[in-house]
Structure formats: structure tokens, C-alpha cells
Amino acid sequence: MGKIALLVSREEMIYQAHNILQERKYPISEMKVVRSESVVIEARQSIADGASIIIARGLQASLIKQYTDIPVVEIVLTAQEMALLIMRAKQIVKKPQPVIAVVGFKNMFCDMSYFDELYDIQLRTYYGTQGMERELKELVSQAVQEGADLIVGGDTAVDAATVMGVPSLFLSMTEDSLKNAFSMAESMEYAMNVEKKSAARMETLLDYTFNGVIQLDSEGVVKGVNPLLEDMIGRSQEELKGLMIGDIAPEVGSDVLERVLGSGKEYSLFLDLNHTSVFAVLAPILYDDGVDGAIITCHRMTIKKSEEKDGGKRGGHLPVLTRFEDILQESPAMKECVRLARLYAMSRQPVVIMGEAGSEKKMMAQSIHGSSACSRGPFVDVPCDGLSNREQQEVLFGDRGAAVQAQGGTLLIQDADCLTAANQYYLYQMIRFHVCHGQDIGQVRKINVRVMVTLRTSLVSLVKEGKIRRDLYYLLSGLEVKIPPLRERPEDLKRKLESTVRECCERYGRYHVLTEGAMKILKEYPWRGNLFQIDSFCDRLILTASRRSLDEITVKRLLRELYGEDEEDTEENPEGKNEDQDICEEAALIARTLKKHGGSREKTAKELGISKATLWRKMKKYELE
């Protein structure tokens, strides 16, 4: 429910409001006496504290409407109240047919068309239009120059008349006008709440539906789309609104529109939206025995590609491999890495690829292979970590080993730093002399294989530690590719996060978005598992998400739950212990107060002596819900 605030210029109006509220509980949550020069600041504070409607009068109401976007209910004096003021004015002036000037804003007053005849006066009205204090003073001056015997107006008009030495009368009111304003504000609040609920239901329906939605008017013009449709078509709602549906989906021709918008009948067909095949249902919106537009729901279709039908083979026997174009390379560091790799693809010499766990090491090897002279041959990769000396020999150099299987192509040896000394020798022999030793040392066969290896540390470190033969070191040390981690490639990291979240949403038929704060947290996280870690994290994030909007609280909590504190990024800070303790105590106090009030932010903020906006910021900071 919204809140209604009453801002007035005099204390007596507050007393009148209290009297009214004793008789009936109008939903007035805040009442203040404010000066006109600070009314805008006070109104903005009320808005920050949750006010959805403000009741005010005269200049103050005009200023609030001019400098804020909140709905304002203006206090309008009733005919009875104005009659009382006129009678008092006549008593003050004590002359026949006195000239009484009413100064203010037109929407403050009731209809006074017949007051001259009814009360034997000359009534002149001076209404401001700009909502400025200076304007009211000028109007008072004009009224005095035109012979006004008495000025009736608000604080500004009364002060100006006093300075000019002219009698004045403040626009005091009875409780009637205030009751009318309260009643109008209550009705407005009810209507706003009904509209908000309807809008929230519709937004939830559109955001959580698994289909794209397009809304058309009665002429076939796009009035709006939901976020999933924006994602399907690759264009925003702002770009699509106002277009004819035929400009977006040519399959929806005049005959289809005539059937749906003219005859009011449902129609279904297949559409091609941004190279995405969708099954669409056009349903007319029926209203008062007529058609007032249509809703198109679009369900994404999954069509298997010919490569998938072939069991993932290319050319009938080779798997579809990664190309350089498939690697994220928007960052300068990765662009340079790919540039070197493209050059190395022209060579037949072995390539060393270094990078952290989860980085594009295998993708880089496949891309080099695909751009090399041996691209028509097989690509075989073998992991060495965890294999014994004999297992390594059999898997790599045995009669049916990887070297034989990769004949004419590329052999990728992953984690080559785990090779035993004996197998390092066999690898040296294969690279240097193009021969492969079988299980029998005397058994030798010619091998035509391009060798690539991945390492978890540099060759220099390995040779210094005595973990690699020097002759093999010199063979491998020529062509090296070092893949920078994602945390050093902000452009690639952002692209990877966005695309992975989108792919997970599509895979599971969901729609979720990351807030700016959530994306900032993810971009600052080190991601030591690189691509693999992001894939698994996003899968968990989307599968377990309970809200459409994923904020920093959700992201931080899941990062901590999955990976704990990142020790490599945590520095000891003994001097900060007292500050950390204060933070913990403040967070605990807020959590206890929230629990005490059943999660009510309004009551919690009031007890803690802070605004709702401040409370919300602290809840975000401490990840409290």
C-alpha cells in the first residue's frame, strides 16, 4: 500500500487534520508544517520515505507539482468557507460594496461567480499561473494599484499586503475542505493500488512466460513486446514499437491480419524471427463485441543442424572443431594471443600452450590445427595427469596409441609437465626424428604428427626445477602461446557472463536478468576456473533463481556458498578488525530489528531512526533480506 503525506503551512491545519482522523481513519501516514521555501525539499524527503501521494495547498502545491513527479491532491476551499471569509472581510473594511481581492491559484478556490450579488461586494480575482512566490507578490501589488480595499490570500499574499499597508485576511479553512482532500487522496490511492496490482500481474505474466509476446493494436501496429521476445528478435521494445507486424514478420500478411483483427479468429503459423524459427499463435483481443488488437505468443523451436545429425562429424569422419573466430577475443591481450597463434599455425614445429584451469587451451589447439597444413588430418588429445609411466607410454606411444591415431594430423598432449622422464625421451624422439617407439624398444615406426602440449607452468620454471629434460625443453621453447586469464580480459569476461546467462535461460526455458550491481560483482570476481567455472556457476544461478531480477545479494551469496572466500585475493588487515566488528554488529542489529517487525522496512527504519532509503542501502550492503 502507498503512503499519503500532508504538507501544510500552518500548525492549525495539522490540528484540524488530527480532529478529522479521530472521526475516520484516512490512510494519512505523515503530517508536517513546512515553509514554502523548503517545501520541495520536504516533499522529496517524503517521497524517499515512501509517500505515493502528497496533499498540499496553494503555492506549496504548485511548487511540489512543478519540481517532483508525485501526484498532488490540492486543498480547495469550499463555497461555505469562502462565504465566511467574505463576511469577515466586510466586517474589517466597514464600507458599502468593498473591493475585495482574492490572490492565489485558481485551483485553490470554489466557483465564486455570484458572490458580488450575494454579498454586496466587488470581488476581484488575481490568479497566478507560474507557481512562483514572486508572481504572487506582483499580483498583490497589482490589486492594490487597482483599488483593492482588502487582500484575501495565503501566507505570501498576506505578507505582501502587510508590507504595502493594506488590510489582509488569511485563507483559513474549516475541516470541510481538508476532509474533501483526504477523501480524494484516499480514492486516488485506491485507484493507484489497483492499477499497480494489475500492472504487476501483467508484468509477472510477461516476464515469467516461456514464450515471446507481441502486443498489436487494431491496425496491426506493435504496441509492446516482452523481454523474451526482445531477446529472440535481437531488438529492443523501443525499436519495435510503432512498426507494422509485417515489417518484423513478413509471414504475417494482410490475409492473416484480416482473419485475426477483422474476423476475431485465432491463427497459428511458423515465423522466422532474426534467423530463429518460432511457432506463433495470434489471438484477438475481444472487447465490446469488437476486436481491440491482438496478442502474438512465440515459442522458440529447436531444429537440429545437419552436423548434429551426422553425429557431430565433419566430412563424414572428423569432429567439428573450434575455430579462432569462436574464441572470445574482444580484449587487446586475447587479440594479441590469437594473432600469434594464427602465425604459429603456419609452422610444423611443436606449440606450447599455457593457461590456467578452464581457459581456452584446448580451443586454441583446435584452432591452430584447423588453420594449419594438417587440418585435414585427425586431431587427437590425451591427458597425462594421473597416469602411471606405463599407462602414459601405452596411451601415447603404444601400437594403438594416440601418436598412431593422429598420423597426418595433430596430437595434443595435455598437462605435459606430468610426463615421466622416460616418456619425455620418447616425446623428444618423436618430435626430433619423427619416430615412435613401441613397447619393444627395438620396434620403431615413422610418425608424421604435429605435436602441441599444454602446461600448467612455464617451461623455464620446469627446467629450473629439473622436471623436464633439457633437450625436450629446447625443442618446445620456440612457439609458446600464453592465454591470459579472464580476469585480465574485462571485455571478454563481460561477454562470457552475458552469453552464458542467456544460454542458460534458453536451455531451461527461463528468463532472468542481472542487475548492474550483480554484474559488477561478477566482473570483479577472479574466476580462477575461467570458462568452466563461469559455466557451472551460471547453471546453478539460473536453475536455483527464485526471482526474475538477480541482484548482488543473490550473486554474492552463491559465490560464497560455492567457492568460499578467495584466499588469494584476501589480505590480512589487523587494523581493520575493529571496523569489521562494527559492521558485523550493525548488520546483526538490522537483522534483529527486521525479524522483530516481520520484515517491515517501514517499522524497522522508524525504530533505528533512519530513512527507508538508508535502510535499503544498508540491507544491500550487508546482504540482508
Give the model's pLDDT for residue 44: 93
Residue 362 φ then ψ, to 5°: -70, -40
Give the model's pLDDT for residue 145: 94
Residue 314: pLDDT over 60: no
Give the model's pLDDT for residue 201: 66
Residue 275: pLDDT over 80: no
Residue 533: pLDDT over 90: yes
What is the average per-residue pLDDT within 238-253?
A: 88
Residue spans of alpha helices (H) in 209-331: 227-233, 237-240, 245-248, 254-257, 306-309
**C-alpha of 292 from chain center:** 32
Give the model's pLDDT for residue 34: 93
Cα–Cα separations (whole angstroms), residue 24 to 20, 28, 183, 191, 344: 6, 11, 10, 20, 84
Give the model's pLDDT for residue 243: 93
Give the model's pLDDT for residue 310: 38
Query: Per this entry, what is the length of the chain?
Result: 625
Is residue 55 within 8 A of residue 73, CB to CB? The reply is yes
What is the average per-residue pLDDT within 463-483?
A: 91
SS3 269: strand
Give the model's pLDDT for residue 31: 93
Between residues 89 and 303, which one has the greater pLDDT?
89
Which residues does residue 30 pair with via DSSP β-bridges, in sequence order?
5
Give the model's pLDDT for residue 500: 93
Lowest mean pLDDT among 11-25, 164-178, 304-318, 592-606: 304-318
Quick one: which of 526, 425, 448 has its CA closest to 484? 526
Give the model's pLDDT for residue 577: 45
Percent of the chain beyond pLDDT 90? 40
Report which residue type is found at 277. Answer: S
Q: Which residues contact 294 (CB under 8 A, 6 or more apart)?
A: 215, 216, 220, 260, 261, 282, 283, 284, 285
Name all domains of the chain by residue range, CATH numbers in brackets. Answer: 3-75+178-191 (3.40.50.2300), 79-172 (3.40.50.10660), 209-300 (3.30.450.20), 322-484 (3.40.50.300), 487-568 (1.10.8.60), 575-622 (1.10.10)
Interatomic CA distance for residues 49 and 612, integer angstroms: 6
Angle at the Cα of 618 from the Cα atoms of 614 and 623, rounded to 5 degrees: 150
What is the average per-residue pLDDT within 311-331?
A: 67
Residue 126's pLDDT band (cuts 50, 70, 90): very high
Between residues 139 and 289, which one has the greater pLDDT?
139
What is the chain's mean pLDDT, rounded? 85
Give the model's pLDDT for residue 450: 94
Between residues 37 and 316, which one has the greater pLDDT?
37
Cα–Cα separations (whole angstroms), residue 61 to 9, 182, 183: 11, 15, 17
Give the model's pLDDT for residue 621: 75
Residue 358: pLDDT over 70: yes
Give the model's pLDDT for residue 309: 37
Residue 580's pLDDT band (cuts 50, 70, 90): low
Residue 565: pLDDT over 70: no
Give the model's pLDDT for residue 581: 57
Residue 479: pLDDT over 70: yes
Q: In which order are the strands placed within the sheet that holds 28-33?
A: 28-33, 3-8, 51-56, 72-74
Residue 150: pLDDT over 70: yes
Residue 569: pLDDT over 80: no
- DSSP, residue by residue, 471-513: HHHHHHSSEEEEPPPGGG-HHHHHHHHHHHHHHHHHHTT---E
Give the model's pLDDT for residue 286: 84
Lowest mean pLDDT among 363-377, 378-392, 584-598: 584-598
Q: Which residues contact 511 (CB under 8 A, 6 or more apart)?
A: 207, 208, 210, 227, 228, 231, 505, 548
Give the model's pLDDT for residue 625: 64
Each residue's pLDDT tens digit, 182-221? 998 888 888 888 777 766 666 666 665 668 888 899 899 9
Interatomic CA distance for residues 474 and 463, integer angstroms: 10
Is residue 391 within 8 A of residue 422, CB to CB? The reply is no
What is the average per-residue pLDDT within 605-610?
A: 82
Structural Rg of the chain based on CA atoms: 39
Residue 568: pLDDT over 60: no
Residue 572: pLDDT over 90: no
Residue 9: pLDDT over 50: yes
Give the model's pLDDT for residue 199: 61
The number of C-alpha atoms within 13 Å of 457 and in the hemisphere containing its C-beta is 10
Give the model's pLDDT for residue 265: 87
Residue 501's pLDDT band (cuts 50, 70, 90): very high
Give the model's pLDDT for residue 566: 57
Residue 570's pLDDT band (cuts 50, 70, 90): very low
Residue 363: pLDDT over 90: yes
- The listed range with the strongest mean pLDDT (38-47, 130-139, 168-177, 200-209) is 38-47
